A = this chain, B = another copy of it.
Amino acid sequence: MSVGHTGVTTSAESGSAGPVIVCETPQDECGVRDVLDRLGDKWSVYVVVELTPGTKRFKELQRAIPGNISQRMLTLTVRRLERDGLVKRTVYPTVPPQVEYELTELGRSLTHLVKALADWSIAHRPAIAASQAAWDAAHTGEGMRG
């Protein structure tokens, strides 16, 4: 492999023993996984968010993303995004090297969904937090009251 032990490709063409999702249903919820796997990547969303305003370099991206993403994960993330056609990577063969990342048309078409997700999250976070608190309160000492 070229990018570490995980590789960039997720499931296809790499191993012949991992169906992952059988895809029985015709088209309804079948493709959701494709996006969610990318969105659930823990970092992909942030890259998309940070790239929404415009082009950013590797280091800029790393600094902009909250949560201290490691070099390794940023590389893996942008590579996957690039492979999916959501991000365009441009290398300037200078010294020191400079690499710029930007959203493609496809990537930009996702930003409004990410925005919607973020809006929903922000709008309902209080409700969710309250629900969690209530749940926790109702379940404290369920199997650990000794």
Chain A residues engaging chain B, CB cutoff 8 angstroms: 1-2, 9, 12-13, 20-25, 27-32, 34-36, 39-42, 45-46, 49-50, 66-68, 82-86, 106, 109-110, 113-114, 116-118, 120-122, 124-125, 127-128, 130-132, 135-136, 139, 142-144
Contact = CB atoms under 8 A, between A and B. Distances in A.
A12 B129 CA distance: 10
A120 B113 contact: yes
Contact of A116 (B39, B113, B132, B142): B113
A131 B118 contact: no
A5 B29 CA distance: 30
Given A82-B135, A117-B36, A128-B34, A27 B122 contact: yes
A22 B83 contact: no
Nearest to A105: B127
Nearest to A49: B29
Contacts of A25: 66
Contact of A118 (B9, B31, B46): B31
Contacts of A84: 128, 131-132
